[in-house]
Structure 1
Amino acid sequence: MKKNFLIGIILLFAVWWVVATVHVLDAFFLPGPIEVLIDLAQMLWTGTLNADIYATMVRLGLAFGIALIAGIPLGILLGASTKIYESVEFIIDFFRSLPATAIFPLFLLVFGIDDSSKIAVAAFGAALVIIFNTAHGVMNTKPSRIIAAKLMGAKKLQIFKSIVFWESLPQTFIGIRTSISLALVIIIVTEMFIGTYAGLGRRIIDFQYIYNVKGMFGIILLTGGIGYALNLILAKIEDKVVHWKGK
């Protein structure tokens, strides 16, 4: 896995370096990877990005936390009743299909231009993904195991704790991992709107205004790195919790 990971990184930077070297685009608009990495390292070393990283991570943490707290219980409740899920499935799919940027102005009207609107829209988008996956995880529980448990006299709560909860976890974790990536994307995008004074999205826009292309690419790389790291952490947690998956 580690070798494949390194091959992917090397391939990405090799293609980038070749494209930049042969000047497919003007060197000003497509700086080489080494220049970008050096510029990013300088910004990190001098602490230029500290406030932006902190602001983005706080917003992401709050949005993701709200999505987890709201999404998992709702997903379990909806998954426990096929009829209820089918009655709201259109609503869930409808809002899941909408880009966050399309509904963000509505959140701005309701919550104002401060961080509340950014956190709310990111939590909303992430929660829908968690609800969808958790509900399907619950609904895909093997009926034979539930029937066997009922024959042995198990109550509904016992069946949920011993069978349904554990069988739904793999699908739930898929939703959790997808939702944190989505929440990060939404936070970055909404930080580019008005009312943001710190954040990686705000920094990208600031660099765009002053034509600091190396800085823009650096922040994009940093954002991708943060997203990958968070996904990797959740994957490790999933391997520990859902250790039977694939066996």
Structure 2
Amino acid sequence: MMANRSAWRTRVVRPGLIGPIGLVLLWSVAHSVHWVTPRLLPGPLETFGTLWSSVVQGTLWPDLVATALRTGYAFVIAAVAGIPVGVVLGSSPVIYRSTEFIIDFFRSTPATAMFPLFLLVFGIGEESKVAVAAFSAWLVIVFNTAYGVMNARKTRILAARVMGASDWRVLRDVMFYESLPQTFVGLRLGVSYALVVIIVAEMFIGSSDGMGRRIIDAEQVYDLGQMYGTIIATGCIGYAINLGFLALERFFVKWSGK
């Protein structure tokens, strides 16, 4: 067991630190030799010190929780509404071809371009932020789930039909499970999209809290250490969420690729 843990640390943990350490070193050099004026790019020690102070003093947590809750609400709505629609679209070529242009059109439209529409429908408030983020994530989840269903292995579907399974049983017990690996890809992308849209919405739609509001406030008073520190914290949130979904995928989709 100890040998396995040591091997895992050597293969994964240490190589995984090369990129972050290299980035921080490059940042330090850029700050030290004034590749970018220090007025626009504070050093890493100053930035991480400001971030640490925000964490210890607790000023960061209310904004972080507000952003996480909005992202969570948007993602849950998108997943609950997106997975069934994706399964239906993927299982019926006729329905998929009938709706492909509409869904692909909105998927190709930047979510930020949809802000005015959602503001008109939902008003200036929490609903508009969550709705536009949920819509953006929903499109990604629908397409990935549909692709997963369409690419379900024909041999398994044929075997289920030979054994007398009805269309509903084939859809529920074969296609759904075969689509899970691609569905998890859609879920990971969807939650990332939701987080990005929520951050942008907090910046420009208007909000009294949240990481996006914190970034804009720091930029307006020229507190660049706070601004960059909040950006780093936001990136860490997204990275942690991605790792969490990868772990869930490995746990629930053990048959992927088999």
TM-score w.r.t. the length of structure 1 is 0.97
Match of 1:6 in 2: 17
The equivalent of 2:145 in structure 1 is: 134
Q: Identity percentage over the alignment?
A: 54
- CA distance in 2 between counterparts of 1:87 and 1:181 reads 28
Equivalent positions of 1:17-32 (< 5 A) are 17-32=28-43
Aligned to 1:88: 99
| C-alpha contact 2:91 2:171 (8 A) present in aligned 1 | no
Secondary structure class of the residue paired with 1:120: helix
Separation in structure 2 between the aligned mates of residue 190 and residue 34 of structure 1, nearest angstrom: 30
Q: Paired residues, what number?
A: 247
For 1:216, the equivalent position in structure 2 comes to: 227
Match for 2:170: what amino acid?
Answer: I
1:228 equivalenced with 2:247 (yes/no): no
Task: Tell me which residue corresponds to 1:146.
Answer: 157
The amino acid that maps onto 1:6 is L
2:7 is matched with: none
CA distance in 2 between counterparts of 1:228 and 1:166 reads 26
Correspondence for 1:54:
65
Matches within 5 A, 1:1-247: 1-247=12-258
Match of 1:27, SS state, is coil
SS of 1:223's partner is helix
Is the deviation greater in 140-149 or in 163-172?
Answer: 140-149
Who is 2:6 aligned against?
A: none
| CA-CA distance at 1:151 after TM superposition | 1.3
Deviation string, structure 1 residues 156-200 (Cα, Å, up to 9, x no partner): 222223321111000000000011111000000000124310010
SS state at 2:203 partner? coil
> Which residue number corresponds to residue 9 of structure 2?
none
After superposing the two structures, state which structure 1 stretch, 161-170 or 204-213, moved more: 161-170
State the Cα distance separating 1:6 from its structure 2 match.
1.1
Q: Which runs of 5+ in 1 are unaligned?
A: none
TM superposition shift of 1:244: 2.0
Say which SS state the counterpart of residue 204 (structure 2) adopts: coil
